[in-house]
Amino acid sequence: MIGELLTPAGLVAVVPLLAAIALGFVRSQAIGAWINIAAAAVAFGLACALPWHLGAAPLLLVDRLATHLAILTSFVGLTSAWFSRRYIQIEADAGRMLPLGVRQYHVLFQAFLGFMLLALLSNNLGVTWVAMEAATIAAVLVVGLPRTDQAVEASWKMFVLCGVGIALALFGTIVLYLAALPAMGSGWAAMSWSELAPKAAGFKAPLLNLAFVFLLVGYGTKAALAPLHAWMPDAHAEGPTPVSAVLSGSILNVALAVLLRVRGLMAGNAEALSPGLPMMGLGLLSLLLAAFSLWPRRDVKRFFAFSSVEQSGIAAFAFGIGGPAAMFAGMLHLTLHTLTKAAIFHCVGRASQMKGGQKFLHITGLIGSHRALGLTLAAGMVAVSGLPPFGLFSSEFLIVLATIRQVPWLAIPLGLGLVVSAWALMRRLITLCLGAPTSSPGPAPEVLDLLPAWLHLALVLVLGLAMPGFVLSWFRALAGGL
Amino acid sequence: MGGHLAFGTFSYDAAHLLGGGVLVLSFVLLYQRRLTAVINTYALQAVVLSAAAAWQAWVQDAPHLYLTAGITLAAKGIAIPLGMHRIVRQLQVNRSLESALGIFPSMAIGVGLVTLSILVVLPVTPQAQTLTREELALALSVVLMGLLMMITRRTAMTQVLGFMSLENGLILAAVSVAGMPLVVELSVAVLVLLAFAVFGVFFFRIRDRFDSLHLDNLDRVGGMHR
């Protein structure tokens, strides 16, 4: 079983974890930053090879869902590692991060990335849970790194909420094992995703329902679904920005991937509760709550954190509707949101460094003070509001279509949430990017710093306007297999 | 295993007694007034839990559960409580604790939660082994009581203790389900989380920064309109 860790799939998770250990011994900030980038690049390269290594082993499950999200997560990990090289250097030069803090940051960044990839690729419920827990601890520590009162408060809040969340998820895991016992017999197989899926029809339905409730609440906390989303705005506002970029997309995706697998088990059992309604309910609640919470925000990063809650809600809603069309739209939405939001956080991070603050008060007229940065941020905000020509327009359009076809009366609250949040984003787009620029005491970003954001937005544009044939068939196969 | 576990046999009664003991100590945790007393009660709960795990190891003939029992006893029964006493001495936070609810309402809610978990678990497990289903109800009660403690006790230390008591419920569930793999690994992972929680209180020096371990002080830097 240990040998599996040396296959391409295993190495995707092992390389960042080994890099995390190695980075603990690197004193030089510059070398540490490059090792950080190199390890993320190796993980991304290995993840790109996974579509040719599909298959299930006792420890690792390389199916389309895991492969897709592993590629996405490691890509965002790579671009954010690139971005964080300059970002952290500026923070360190300004004295906001001590040399030891920078070293800890690199260790935790890789550990966080590695454990998320392990959670995605694991074939065992227990290992998934442990990896999720470890990723949470790494994230909590990295959010607290700036050592300000607010950062400490944010990381404590995140720890308490996410700790309770994953504790409930463990209870759900135990009950799921108990539900699977009659069909699977006791032992390793009854905790293996790939073994469970084909035999879901034989599970005890009442226990499966109980497990689903706990897993939905537990992993839903990590997916920032309301009402347990409260850790997310604080963590984003106070933690280092590159981490917000990874946190915003990837940890939500990992949690939603686990929920999708559980949803598959529920759908495979005729007597079990239909998983659609609870997922739609939580998704819609998150969407509406976040849409209205966007309005009174004064902190830019907190604002975009609520936007992530909203987008996670939309994806969960789409997965709740079910059926190939909604699944396709949901996966597309998840993918595009991850790319867009990472680009936005890259821009916001550099903008707040340049302007010396992260309140809306500090940042206005960005196009006037730095044309490229302002236009990139504007493009990102247009994209995340779901306006054409970006890909999120297509995915939200497909989700609305699927809603009208399958649960027409829910199209009204869905539409309301989408419009209210897009309106809030547009209002803020105007104050952030247009108007008279405020002074810019901090260092301005260069072309190389904005490169990741442009790459992300270009991908979002291409996937929305003209999706290449092989990507389309990949998404179709992915949605069909869920 | 099966043969030992019929209703009314000694092994069945003993397992029940130990599981019930863990739950009773959850109630005790709810009404303790002093922090040191809460820590001692938690340590006692961990010791009873460790005995329950060891008993399950014997009944199920599953030697790896002895390992879980040993880890629980050494870490949660001895090491973590000693560490917490040390923190209490160093930060000098041992004073009388108030509860957001009075003793009677929190006990009443506790009884309600136990009823709830019995009502939830027993009907959905008609064919499961009698032992497993009742232990699961006990475990769910302990989990919910831990959550209740986290809500009613508003200081960081007691929240951590509530969280740890919640985790005791999880371990009780895991050891009671016959033949579950990875129990030892999971209990180690849970332990890492607990150690991190205790370490967190100390590491973040919540007292230094906020004058006390009271979470209302944390809210000072929070607020709605940020």
Q: Write the DSSP symbol of residue A60.
A: B
C-alpha to C-alpha distance for A29 and B170, rounded to whole angstroms: 42
Question: Do the domain assignments include residue B225?
Answer: no
- The answer on pLDDT for B222 being more than 50 is no
Q: Select the residue of A144, A150, A296 nearest B204 (Cβ to Cβ).
A: A144
**Residue A185 resides in a domain:** no
- DSSP state, residue A467: -
Contact A188 B150 (CB under 8 A): no
Window 192-211 of A: residues touching B by CB (8 A cutoff) are: 204, 206-207, 209-210
Q: Would you say residue A156 lies in a domain? A: no
Q: Is residue B54 scored above 50 in pLDDT?
A: yes
Residues A213, A262: Cα–Cα separation, whole Å: 10
Contacts of A138 by beta carbon, 8 Å cutoff, 6+ apart: A108, A111, A112, A115
Of A157, A263, A249, A268, residue with least CA distance to A202:
A268
- Chain B positions touching A298 (Cβ under 8 A) are 225-226
In a domain, B76, yes or no: yes
pLDDT at B205 over 80: no
* Any domain includes A145: no
For residues A31 and A18, what is the distance between their CA atoms, to the nearest angstrom? 16
Please judge whether B218 and A174 are an interchain contact, meaning their C-beta atoms are less than 8 angstroms apart: no
**Number of domains making up chain A:** 1
A310 sits in which H/E element = helix A300-321
- Asked if pLDDT for residue B217 goes beyond 60, the answer is no
Confidence of residue B128 (pLDDT cuts 50, 70, 90): low
Residue the block writes with tokens 């809040």? A157
CA separation for the pair B203, B223 (Å, rounded): 24
**Model confidence at B216: pLDDT above 60:** no
Residues 6+ away with beta carbon under 8 Å from A196: A180, A184, A190, A265
Other C-beta atoms lying within 10 Å of the C-beta of residue A277: 11
Assess if residue A439 is contained within a domain.
yes
CB contacts, 8 Å: B156 with chain A: 156
Structure tokens at A76: 């965002």
How far away is chain B from the Cα of A299, in angstroms, using its nearest Cα?
5
Average pLDDT over residues B64-83: 91
Domain extent for A440: 274-482
Q: Which of A127, A187, A302 sits opposite B226 (nearest CB)?
A: A302
pLDDT band at B212 (very low <50, low <70, confident <90, very high): very low
**Contact assignment for B221 to A149 by CB distance below 8 Å:** yes
CB-based contact B147 A164, cutoff 8 Å: yes
* A204 Cβ contact partners less than 8 Å away, ≥ 6 residues apart: A178, A179, A181, A182, B124, B125, B127, B128
Judged against a pLDDT cut of 60, whether residue B3 lies above it is answered with no
In a domain, B182, yes or no: yes
Task: Let me know if residue B118 belongs to a domain.
Answer: yes
Chain A residues close to B185, C-beta within 8 Å: 126, 130
**Type of residue at B102:** G
Judged by CB atoms closer than 8 Å, whether chains meet at B136 and A178 is answered as yes
Distances (CA, A) of A137 to A39, A104, A276: 21, 13, 30
Residue B92 lies in a domain: yes
pLDDT digits (tens, 9 = 90+) for B23-33: 999 999 988 87
Nearest-Cα residue of chain A relative to residue B147: A164
Q: Count of A–B CB contacts within 8 Å?
A: 120
**Range of the structural domain that residue B122 is part of:** 2-220
Find chain B residues with C-beta within 8 A of A177's C-beta. Answer: 177, 180
Identify whether A392 is part of a domain.
Answer: yes
Nearest CA in chain A to B159: A160
The rounded distance, in Å, linking the Cα atoms of B13 and B7 is 8
Predicted local distance difference test score (pLDDT) of residue A89:
92
Give me the phi and psi of A285, to 5 degrees please: -60, -45
Q: How far is A464 from chain B (nearest CA, A)?
A: 34
> A167 vs B125: CB contact, 8 Å cut-off?
no
pLDDT score recorded for residue A334:
93
Cβ-defined contact of A156 to B185 (cutoff 8 Å): no
- Interchain CB distance below 8 Å, A209 and B124: yes
Coil, strand or helix at B155: strand
pLDDT value at position A170?
Answer: 92
**Mean pLDDT, residues B52-77:** 90
In a domain, residue B177? The reply is yes
Number of domains in chain B: 1
Half-sphere exposure of B103 (CA within 13 A, CB side): 7
**Mutation target vs B (from A125, A141, A152, A193; most B CBs, 10 A cutoff):** A152
Q: Is-contact A260 A275, C-beta < 8 A?
A: no
Looking at the domain assignment, is residue A303 inside a domain?
yes
CA distance to partner chain A, nearest, from residue B105 (Å): 23
Task: Give residue B206's pLDDT band: very low, low, confident or very high (50, 70, 90).
Answer: low
- Sequence-separated (6 or more) residues with CB below 8 Å from residue B58: B11
Q: What is the mean pLDDT of each run of 10 residues along chain A (482 residues)?
A: 83 94 92 95 95 89 93 94 92 87 92 95 92 91 82 84 91 90 82 89 88 93 87 87 82 92 90 88 94 91 92 94 91 94 93 88 87 93 91 93 93 94 93 86 87 94 89 91 80
Share of chain B above pLDDT 90, in %: 29
Tell me the shortest Cα–Cα distance from B181 to chain A, in angstroms. Answer: 6
pLDDT of residue B220: 45
Q: Which of B121, B182, B192 sits opposite A191 (nearest CB)?
A: B182
**B198 assigned to some structural domain:** yes
DSSP B6: S
pLDDT number for residue B4? 47
Span B167-200, pLDDT tens digits: 999 999 988 887 778 788 888 888 888 877 777 7
Distance from CA of B110 to the nearest CA of A (A): 18
pLDDT at A229: 87
Residue A424 lies in a domain: yes
Show which of residues 286-305 on chain A sit within 8 Å of chain B, judged by CB atoms.
Answer: 296-299, 302
Q: How large is the average pLDDT for residues B98-122?
A: 86
> How close, in Å, is residue B81 to chain A by CA atoms?
19
Contact A152 B189 (CB under 8 A): no
